[in-house]
Structure 1
Amino acid sequence: MSQFHELINRNTPTLVDFYADWCGPCKMMPPILKEVKNELGESVNILKVDVDKNQKAANKYGIRSIPTLILFKNGKIMWRKTGVAQAREIKNAVKQIA
């Protein structure tokens, strides 16, 4: 959990994907996140958090549905989306706060 807090408190935007292995829509996110990372490179960190293994983090951020994406910068929530997000939408959110 300390590494999680270290990452979200950075000046570089950190996108956290809250997911579960059994979640069908969650399985659609990896190729989308890969596209985002390939295009934006070091200007964004991407972190995947399994809600079943990290219930404390899921509870802290009020994760009720998955996938949920939260974009942090300097420890603050800058953008949040529940459900499958398209790469363009994610990239636009990152670019607005970078």
Structure 2
Amino acid sequence: MSAEVTLTSENFKKEVLESKIPVLVDFWAEWCMPCKMIAPSVAQIAESYKDRIKVGKLNVDEQSDLASQYGIISIPTLIVFKDGQVARQKVGAMPRHEIEKLFLDLI
């Protein structure tokens, strides 16, 4: 079973905005090659930090309302939410250690 949570407009509030721990949200799409490049790193992070950070995957094609609400124009976009607020945001493919820098000081 994956440690990643699939995010939808139905569960976004509960899983992200009301989360007691920071949430790393990966805004991605099936056709996006850079998204596929970082997917293994995102999955490893979900597993490695599962008790300290939640990792959510949000498909921008299926959840376009949420993507536009957060101003997503390029993917992959990674956003870290803490206490229901956007704490960090970074666009583009990056190595795992760069992704970890987004949240390590928040957990």
1:54 aligns with 2:52: no
Amino acid at match of 1:84: A
Question: Which ranges of 4 or more aligned residues in structure 1 deviate by more than 4 Å?
Answer: none
Shift of 1:36: 1.4
1:44 corresponds to 2:53: yes
Matched residue of 1:38: which SS?
Answer: helix
Of 39, 63, 67, the residue aligned with 1:30 is: 39
1:93 CA drift (Å) = 2.1
Worse overlay, 1-10 or 57-66? 1-10
Residue aligning to 2:97? 88
**Structure with the higher helix share, 1 or 2:** 1
Tell me, yes or no, if structure 1 residue 71 matches structure 2 residue 80.
yes
Q: CA deviation at 1:95?
A: 1.6
Q: Pick from 2, 8, 11: which aligns with 1:3?
A: 11
Q: Percent identity?
A: 35
> Aligned equivalents of 1:90 and 1:97: distance in 2?
13
Instruction: Give me the whole-angstrom Cα distance separating, in 2, the residues matched to 1:77 and 1:63.
Output: 13
2:24 matched to 1:12?
A: no
- 48-57 vs 88-97, which moves further: 88-97
**What are structure 1's unaligned runs of at least 5 residues?**
none
- TM-score normalised according to structure 2 size: 0.84
Aligned residues: 98
- For residues 17 and 92 of structure 1, the distance between their equivalents in structure 2, rounded to whole angstroms, comes to 15
Is the 1:40–1:91 Cα contact (8 Å) retained in structure 2?
no
Structure 2 residue matching 1:70: 3-state secondary structure? strand
Counterpart amino acid of 2:68?
N
Gaps of at least 5 residues in structure 2 are 1-8
